[in-house]
Chains A and B, each alone.
Chain A
Amino acid sequence: MSLGTFLELRQELLLIAAALLVLIAEIFSDADKKRNTGLLSIILLGIVTIAGFFPAPSGQLFGGMYLTTNVRLLMKNILNIGALLVFIQSVTWLKKEEHCEKASEYFLLLISTLIGMDFMISAGHFIMFYIGLELATIPIAALAAFDRYKNKSAEAGIKLILSSSLSSGILLYGLSLIYGTTGSLYFSEISALFANNNIQILGFIFFFTGMAFKISIVPFHLWTADVYEGSPVNITSYLSVISKGAAIFTLIIILFTVFPVIIGTWQKTIYVTSVLTMTIGNLFAIRQQNLKRFLAFSSISQAGYILLGFMSGNQMGMAAVIYYVLIYIFSNLGAFGVVTAISNATGKENMDDYNGLYHTNPKLSLIMMLSLFSLAGIPPVAGFFGKFFLFTVAAQQGYYLLVLIAVLNTIIALYYYLLVVKAMFINKSETPVEYFRSDFPTRFALGICIAGIVVTGFASIIFEVIRNLSFVI
């Protein structure tokens, strides 16, 4: 391998090195020092994240099975940032007596999923893609069952692994149909050979349902609620933000590069599923009392909005999607961060428990409010600009009805996001959550989320950079 190869594979190699280092540290440290691996993992991932921003060459490796371009690198960077935030948010929770033994396990598995996601994004061949996909999923199932003595957590792990094997089965079936009709699994060859016949469309749809499962697009979303509710909060936020973001990135790359021939078909597919996703996600979210479940369902409808950006099939849509995922990471992790902090301090997760929170914990309430405003798309926070660009992209292609449905759905979403804000600021409570001071990692992560929510919206340069990179997928 030449140096150039190393540079092209830089992100993956660094992550693998980080995983190995964490493993070695785990083996060689004493039992009482194992909690330090958490700090080590954060530092290592921090280094990888920063390294990602140095320019790297574009190109392909392994005979075209691995591709890297600037926009793919950008996607990996965005995921790294999100993962880093989740790492930092996990520190407090992992300090608990029953978890601290397994801390390095936790980080090791998360880093493995990141490696999987990176390979998924950089895949140039369906086998490479599939390996990445599984590597990004299976460790998560283990993590969902992290609290293995809690029934719900164990149940979440089992449900995730079973339903994801189901979806993988269908996805592989689709891939085999594509292979059977085109004779290749290379992205570049398939896109040239694809001919829009029925078998191939069936293959595409089965592939799509497999990805839809990961993004939890309706009607392939049913696993989401149980898994999100049962898993530890940090895993839920990781699943709903990082895993989902990675799957969205991969899907948009594959749709744009492998299936441009059948753009008409996948636009229709996305049309139907995005309407279903937004609407059903909202209808479920509206009834949730548990905030974890609430955020989980709201993240389903968020995925529905993101699908609008796919409709264009051009770089504007790509840019809008990447931009929105970036904002979504900050906003959702902000909201999850508050939920985690309160859950860690008091164990409370219900909406009623948040009544009167503003009077006892004004700062947390403000952060929660900003995050929810950003998720709802209220100007001037970043979420507004994100939605604005997504809707613009769809409208430019003439999908006015779809945009109208999306706007109606944002109104419903606004209603339930405001329910939480109302609970915090207006509702009175006899027994509000007591005042508590979060520790440094939590405050640090929340600070970054808030800065991200504000800055990403106002600094137009961020969107400009994303747009300029999106030309070459």
Chain B
Amino acid sequence: MINLGYTIWIPLLPFLMFLLLGLAGHKLKHKLSGLLGTGGLAIITVLSYITAYKYFFTSEKIDGAYQKITAFNITWLQFTDKLHIDLGVLLDPISVMMLIVITTVSFMVHIYSLGYMKGEKGFERYFAFLSLFSFSMLGLVLATNIFQMYIFWELVGVSSYLLIGFYYQKPSAVSASKKAFIVTRFADLGFLIGILLLSFNTKTFDFITLTDPTGTAIAQGSGIVFMGLSVMTWSMIFVFMGGIGKSAMFPFHIWLPDAMEGPTPVSALIHAATMVVAGVYLIARMFPIYTFSAPVALEVVAYVGAFSSLFAAIIACTQTDIKRVLAYSTISQIGYMLLALGVSGYGGYEGLGYMASMFHLFAHAMFKALLFLGAGAIIHAVHSNYMTDMGGLRKYLPVTHMTFLIACLTIAGIPPLSGFFSKDEILAAALHSNKLLFAVEYAVAGLTAFYMFRIYFSIFWGKETQYHETPHEAPPTMTIPLIVLAIGSALSGLIPFNELVTSDGKAFESEIELLVAIPSVLIGLLGIGIAYVMYRKETTIPEKLAATFKYSYKWAYNKFYMDELYLFVTKKIIFKHISEPVAWFDRHIVDGTMNAIAYVTQSVSFRIRGLQSGQLQKYAYVFFTGAILLAILFIYLWK
């Protein structure tokens, strides 16, 4: 057994930074508080890499499988002997992988923010919130039990809320942060119900006990059937509801595009690389339960993922705000990951989808963070989010241009970049289990290449825009993270995920399937080609196309009117027919009762003031009377 107790410092250090910067930040110089936050992250990044090395290469495998290690554990609240809530650190392949993802991206975002946020009001507040987020996210992935995960799940929600609303003077940012919080909170209600159902049936919160494929917990509750599905299936569907909310899957996706109101590095960290994949991580964490006792729930996961990925890809083709395109692209890519989990089996080659999903999560974190940071550099240069205001930027922003191109090629699945490998494996897994889902994902692969190169060509090529001031390349604090992430996205395809991160912890053989790889590269190239024709130079093709498919274009441009639908349902139906009567009841019946209680309390309080007369003889009288009354009561009346 190797000693990994120090891993507790990985989440704790950002928390201490949060306290320091939050409480004393306003007294520190801006630069110092930024450097403190970044320094803290640097330390835990190193610690995470050491942990990953130790875990993957020196920890003891049993029967060829990586073991789940509880590196640290304390009992936080002990209700009864059996029922207790622990806080701890659980290390297994996926949590260690997430450590790498979170610390790497977070560290890069910290460095980048030093340049991007320079001179902003609330600089130290920003870094305090970033530290809070890092703490919460790390606590989430390292959770030893589902309740701890839920606590940190809410904490990441809070930090996301705080960061989206960072520019709190902007009304749009405030409403976006509220929207994100409320929508995800609503989904978390489902998550909580799922947790309660699950733990009621299995009598445990602990992940190791819950997900042991040979254990007893996993077989519980499958006998009780409600509306044709076992209780276990219901609870896992409810748990997945939390994942839908956090990962912005259909129909809870509406908060993510608005969340782009936050500072761009925040979008890169929270709304692209880490927090939004929490839903995927959740399913992966509970995967044995899904696959063994709730296969129907797993199918739900697959279809929700597939639908969201297609839906978001279509919308992404029509948006003009580059951050929104990236947001929809994130939804689409997370859909991929969920689909891969949904079609996966357990153990060996059967678990290809699981491995592919984790692989894609890793690769996606790198290239999507890169895309967002690149977008941040572009926005920084031209002071606009809209690609209609951009064009021909390749001359002004050479580093951003090259790294952005690498990211676009990666997401389009062009070999030998990482996206190619991970996407290929997802498609292979889908092909082996469900032809329909494969077809959907295959189409999405083409769409992805198209919309990514649509923005690439519009930004860096296209028309020559006249700028008020000549755009200039970002400072090194911003370009270095771009370069690092570009290297990461290009090379992470070489990591042998099939040996490291698998459903049962054992390595298995997987090869590139040419039958899948060649068509997928071809459709990617086709998407790029169409984008090239349409956007390489200023042409009228896009307008003509939009005019031809007027209605469908309008639908997609308005995001299929999902926001309007939500508004209609909430305002016209829920508020009017449910909330108003409830409000009436509250105002008149509940408040009335409360006012009556308050009135009675006040008047009784007024009446009994005579007791407190200040006269000692009266006190003695009351004292004796009380003693005698108690004696009479307990000797004669109520013995």
Known: A219-B626, A283-B601, A412-B601. A205 touches B631 (CB 8 A): yes
Interface status of B614 (Cβ within 8 A of chain A): yes
Looking at the assembled complex, report how far the CB atom of B611 sits from the nearest CB atom of chain A, in whole angstroms: 7
In the bound complex, CA of A162 to CA of B601 (Å): 32
For the complex, is A426 an interface residue (Cβ under 8 Å from B)?
Answer: no
Q: Give A137-182 interface residues, CB cut-off 8 Å to B.
A: 159, 162-163, 166-167, 170
Q: Which of A107-115, A238-246, A264-272 contacts B (4 or more CB under 8 A)?
A: A264-272
From 89 to 112 in chain A, residues with beta carbon under 8 angstroms from any chain B beta carbon are none
Q: Which residues of chain B are within 8 angstroms of A198 by Cβ–Cβ distance?
A: 635
Does A259 belong to the interface (CB within 8 Å)? no
A194 beta carbon closer than 8 Å to chain B: no
Say which one of A12-20, A76-84, A222-230, A354-362 lies at the interface with B: A222-230
- By the criterion CB–CB under 8 Å, are B77 and A460 in contact? yes
- The CA of A272 and the CA of B638, in the complex, are separated in Å by 11
Docked pose: A220 CA to B626 CA in angstroms: 7
Interface presence of B470 (CB below 8 A): no
Interface residues of A in 190-247 (CB under 8 A from B): 198, 201-202, 205-206, 208-209, 213, 219-220, 222-223, 225-226
Q: Is A414 an interface residue (CB 8 A)?
A: no
Q: Is the CB of B639 within 8 A of A283?
A: no
Q: How far is the CA of A147 from the CA of B496 in the complex (A)?
A: 81
For residue B11, give the distance in angstroms from its CB to the closest CB of chain A: 15
Task: Decide: A461 and B627 in contact? CB cutoff 8 A.
Answer: no
- Tell yes or no: A187 within 8 A of B by CB: no
Query: Interface of chain A, helix or strand or loop or mixed?
Result: helix
Flag whether A284 is at the interface (Cβ < 8 A).
yes
**Known contacts A163-B619, A209-B623, A464-B75; A268 and B634 CB within 8 A of each other:** yes
Q: Which of A205, A226, A463 contacts B630 (CB 8 A)?
A: A205
Q: Determine whether B539 belongs to the interface, using a CB cutoff of 8 Å to chain A.
A: no
Q: Which residues of A contact B619 (CB under 8 A)?
A: 159, 163, 222-223
Contact assessment for A222 and B622 in the assembled complex, using a CB-CB cutoff below 8 Å: yes
| B77 cross-chain contacts in A, Cβ below 8 A | 460
Q: Give chain A nearest CB distance to B150 CB in angstroms.
A: 15
Does A33 interact with chain B (Cβ within 8 Å)?
A: no
Q: Nearest chain B CB to A219's CB is how many angstroms away?
A: 4
A269 to B624, CA, bound (A): 16
A158 to chain B, nearest CB (A): 8
Complexed CA–CA distance, A409 and B405 (Å): 65
Residues of B45-86 contacting chain A, CB below 8 A = 74-79
CA distance A396 to B75 in the complex (A): 21
Q: Is the CB of A269 within 8 A of B616?
A: no
- CB pair B74–A287 under 8 Å, yes or no, is no
**What distance in Å separates the Cβ of B593 from its nearest Cβ neighbour in chain A?**
12
A303 at the interface (CB under 8 A from B): no
A280, B608: Cβ atoms closer than 8 Å = yes
> What separation, in Å, do the CA atoms of A166 and B618 have in the docked complex?
13
Binary CB contact string for chain B from 294 to 334 against chain A (1 if under 8 A, 0 otherwise): 00000000000000000000000000000000000000000
Indicate if A402 sits at the interface (CB-CB under 8 A). Answer: no
The reply on A261 being an interface residue by CB < 8 A is no
A469 within 8 A of B: no
Q: Tell me whether B605 and A284 are in contact (CB under 8 A).
A: yes
- Tell me how far the C-beta of B72 lies from the nearest C-beta in chain A, rounded to whole angstroms: 14
What's the least CB distance linking A48 to chain B, in Å?
A: 31
- The reply to whether the CB of A25 lies closer than 8 angstroms to some CB of chain B is no
Complex contact B630–A284 (CB within 8 A): no
Q: Which residues of B contact A272 (CB under 8 A)?
A: 630, 633
CB closest chain-A residue, reference B605: A283
A263 at the interface (CB under 8 A from B): no
In the bound assembly, the distance between CA atoms of A170 and B631 in angstroms comes to 12
Closest A residue by C-beta to B614: A226
B638 touches A268 (CB 8 A): yes
B634 A269 Cβ-Cβ under 8 A? yes
Tell me the smallest distance from the CB of A422 to a CB of chain B, in Å: 15
Residues of A within 8 A of B626 (CB): 209, 219-220
Cα separation A392 to B77 with both chains bound (whole Å): 13
Chain A residues, CB < 8 A from B630: 205, 208-209, 269, 272-273
How many whole Å from B344's CB to the nearest CB in chain A?
Answer: 38
Among A201, A208, A219, A225, the residue within 8 A (CB) of B635 is: A201
Residues of B within 8 A of A127 (CB): none
Known contacts A265-B639, A283-B601; is-contact A219 B625 (Cβ 8 Å) = yes
| A286 contacts the other chain (CB 8 A) | yes
A-B contact count (CB 8 A): 87
Residue B609 interfacial (CB < 8 Å): yes
Cβ of A206 and Cβ of B627 under 8 Å apart? Answer: yes
Give, as a whole number of angstroms, the nearest-CB distance from A142 to chain B.
18
Give residues of chain B (602-616) contacting chain A, Cβ–Cβ below 8 Å: 602, 604-606, 608-609, 611-612, 614, 616
Q: With A222-B622, A460-B75 known to touch, is A205 a contact of B627 (CB < 8 Å)?
A: yes
| Distance from A216 Cβ to chain B, minimum over Cβ atoms (Å) | 11
Cα distance, A284 to B634, chains bound together (Å): 27
Chain B residue numbers with a CB within 8 Å of A412 are: 601
- On whether the beta carbons of A287 and B609 are closer than 8 Å, the reply is yes
**CB-defined contacts of B608 to chain A, threshold 8 Å:** 280, 283-284
Nearest Cβ on chain A to B636's Cβ, whole angstroms: 9
CA distance A280 to B608 in the complex (A): 9
CB <8 Å contact, B623 and A213: yes
User: Would you call B514 an interface residue if the criterion is a C-beta within 8 Å of the partner chain's C-beta atoms?
Assistant: no
CB < 8 Å neighbour of B623 from A163, A208, A265, A392: A163
Q: B2: CB under 8 A from chain A?
A: no
B227 within 8 A of A: no
Q: In the complex, which residues 273-302 of chain A have their Cβ closer than 8 Å to any Cβ of chain B?
A: 273, 280, 282-284, 286-287
Of all chain A residues, the one with the shortest Cβ separation from B606 is: A287
Do residues A287 and B627 form an inter-chain contact, with CB atoms below 8 A? no
Q: Is the CB of A170 within 8 A of B627?
A: yes
- CB proximity of B617 to chain A, nearest CB, Å: 10
Give the docked Cα–Cα distance between A329 and B235 (Å): 44
Do residues A162 and B623 form an inter-chain contact, with CB atoms below 8 A? Answer: no
Q: Which residues of A contact B631 (CB under 8 A)?
A: 201-202, 205-206
Residue among B602, B619, B625, B635 with the highest chain A CB neighbour number at 10 A? B619
| Contact between chains at A166 and B620 (CB < 8 Å) | yes
A205 pairs with B634, CB closer than 8 A: yes
Most chain A CB neighbours (cut-off 10 Å) among B612, B624, B639: B612
Chain A, residue nearest B620 (CB): A166
| Min distance, Cβ A145 to any Cβ of chain B, angstroms | 15
Q: How far is the CA of A392 from the CA of B79 in the complex (A)?
A: 9
- B465 → A minimal CB distance (Å): 50
Chain B's closest residue to A210 (CB) is B627
Chain A residue nearest in CB terms to B625:
A219
B145 to chain A, nearest CB (A): 15
B contact residues around A415 at 8 Å (CB): 598
Bound complex: CA of A219 vs CA of B611, how far in Å? 10
A219 adjacent to B634 (CB under 8 Å) = no
Contact A219:B604 (CB < 8 A) given known A202-B631, A206-B627, A209-B627: no
Question: B75: which A residues are within 8 A, CB to CB?
Answer: 460, 464
Asked whether A159 lies within 8 Å of B627 as measured between CB atoms, the reply is: no
Given the complex, which residues of B lie within 8 Å of A167, measured CB to CB? 623
Contact residues, B250-281 vs A (CB, 8 A): none
Residues of A within 8 A of B602 (CB): 286
Q: Which of B74, B601, B635, B638 contacts A461 (CB 8 A)?
A: B74
CA distance A226 to B633 in the complex (A): 29
A115 to B464, CA, bound (A): 89
Q: Which residues of chain B come closer than 8 Å to A283, judged between CB atoms? A: 601, 604-605, 608
In the A-B complex, the 9 residue pairs with the smallest Cβ-Cβ separation, listed nearest first, are: A219-B626, A222-B619, A283-B605, A209-B627, A205-B631, A460-B76, A198-B635, A205-B630, A286-B605
15 extra interface residue pairs, beta carbon distance < 8 Å, beyond A222-B619, A287-B606: A159-B619, A166-B623, A170-B627, A201-B635, A205-B630, A208-B630, A209-B626, A213-B623, A222-B622, A223-B619, A269-B630, A269-B634, A282-B601, A284-B612, A460-B74
19 contacts between A and B (CB under 8 A): A163-B616, A163-B623, A166-B623, A170-B623, A170-B624, A208-B630, A209-B626, A219-B626, A222-B612, A222-B619, A222-B623, A223-B616, A226-B614, A268-B634, A272-B630, A272-B633, A283-B601, A287-B609, A412-B601
